[in-house]
Chain A
Amino acid sequence: MKKECQKQSGLDILLRGIIKENPVLVLVLGTCPSMATSTSVSTAVGMGLAATMVLLCSNMLISLLRKVIPDTVRIPCYIVVIAGFVTVVQMLVQAYFKDLYDSLGVFLPLIVVNCIILGRAEMFASKNGVFHSALDGLGMGLGFTLTLTVMGTIREVLGSGSFAGHDLPFFSEYNIPILSQSPGGFFVFGCLIALVAKLTHGRVKHEDTGCGACPHRTVCGKLGKEA
């Protein structure tokens, strides 16, 4: 289980998170914070960057410790490391970016249980070197941030008629308020998933069913074996 996965170039690892294995739209992880914090562009970007920071740090530390951490307690160890970094980020945001802290509310501490971070620790960082894990964390974090930003832009411009808090002409008079509420989040989410599926259709070769259809197949290393 600890053996390195098939050879992958650093650039590939970095770019993979943005479209091909986008954590939100392809792996469908971290859905809850994506819905909740994408009501405006500024909170979306803030949330994305905070999660990226945690993801980068936790991936690097877990990768460093991957030979030391015994298999039986790996999940508690990952959670302690992740919770530690989240708390650090939370304290820094609270001290230096008060507005962002207020608008993110409970979703900032909830990064601890964000599936993307634990998922990458378990799927990638625990099996790969520090450098590749850092790239993976950065790529996945940027993918998360990008998705949130796109969702936030659509929802804020069409839903509230503003962009990053500034009112836009035309849109501020004719807006669709439901887009800034939870149902609108699902509409935008569904449309983006469909778009990404269309964009990657036929380019990413995989089987239709079973283990080969899993979005995690490239990093799992257990393709075709019983889990």
Chain B
Amino acid sequence: MTATKKSSLVAPVVVLTVIAFAIAAILAFVNDLTAPVIKAQEEAAAQAALLEVMPDGTDFTDVTGLELPENVVKIQKAGNGAGYVFTTYGKGFGGNIQVMVGIDPEGAITGTKVLTHGESAGISDPVVGDGSEFQQQLPGVTDPAQIEAVSGATKSSNGMIAAIEAAFDALALVNAE
């Protein structure tokens, strides 16, 4: 009787532990295989996004040592002097819209790309979609007040404008440095 009681206590622990270890071993093996591929892909994707918002830029490096304003996530500088790329966010209809904004040394936008957003599918496409109506008006803009919102997607537009304003604020900060 005691023997069965003991085994009914020990067996579950042993079995669960062995299964957990076996699964962990499989995961470690697969991770070894896929981790380099994933890393290379992420770097390529980040590089491609940078080139999309600033086609002339090369050798991007992170700007460090600045106290970043609240809405600014990251500032990257083009090594060849083509300008800065700001990763900022603004509040849209469904949470924050995270945007990459490229600004050249004259203070004009070179390009924008929405990284993440939670806007309604379909309705927000003219604002957050790649190459959308809203974003086509942006290259060359030097003052966020010139940007026109898209009717039907006002909140999404305002979120984008807020993100772009944050980028200009950050630009002032970088230039003052």
Interface residues of A (CB under 8 A from B): 39, 65, 68-70, 72-73, 76-77, 80-81, 83-84, 87-88, 91-92, 94-96, 98, 159-160, 177, 180-181
A-B contact pairs, 24 of them (CB 8 A): A39-B121, A69-B15, A70-B11, A72-B12, A73-B13, A76-B16, A77-B16, A77-B19, A80-B16, A80-B20, A81-B19, A84-B24, A91-B30, A91-B34, A91-B38, A92-B30, A95-B34, A96-B37, A98-B41, A159-B122, A160-B122, A177-B123, A180-B122, A181-B121
The complex places the Cα of A153 from the Cα of B5 at a distance, in Å, of 56
Contacts of B26 in A (CB 8 A): 84, 88
A88 & B30 in contact (Cβ 8 Å cutoff): yes
Interface residues of B (CB under 8 A from A): 8, 11-13, 15-16, 19-20, 23-24, 26-27, 30-31, 33-34, 37-38, 41, 45, 120-123
Closest to B20 in A: A80
A-B contact count (CB 8 A): 60
B37: contacting residue among A39, A77, A95, CB under 8 A = A95
The complex places the Cα of A100 from the Cα of B154 at a distance, in Å, of 30
Give, as a whole number of angstroms, the nearest-CB distance from A104 to chain B.
15
Contacts of B12 in A (CB 8 A): 70, 72-73
B15 & A80 in contact (Cβ 8 Å cutoff): no
B15 & A70 in contact (Cβ 8 Å cutoff): yes
The complex places the Cα of A177 from the Cα of B122 at a distance, in Å, of 7
B8: contacting residue among A70, A84, A98, A177, CB under 8 A = A70
Contacts of B33 in A (CB 8 A): 95
B34 & A73 in contact (Cβ 8 Å cutoff): no
B23: contacting residue among A80, A98, A159, CB under 8 A = A80
B19 & A80 in contact (Cβ 8 Å cutoff): yes
The 9 closest A-B pairs by CB, nearest first: A84-B23, A95-B34, A73-B12, A95-B37, A177-B122, A91-B34, A70-B12, A88-B30, A73-B16
Given contacts A68-B15, A84-B27, 15 further A-B contacts (CB under 8 A): A69-B19, A73-B12, A76-B16, A77-B15, A80-B20, A80-B23, A81-B23, A84-B26, A87-B27, A88-B27, A91-B34, A91-B38, A92-B34, A95-B38, A181-B122
The complex places the Cα of A81 from the Cα of B21 at a distance, in Å, of 11
Closest to B31 in A: A91
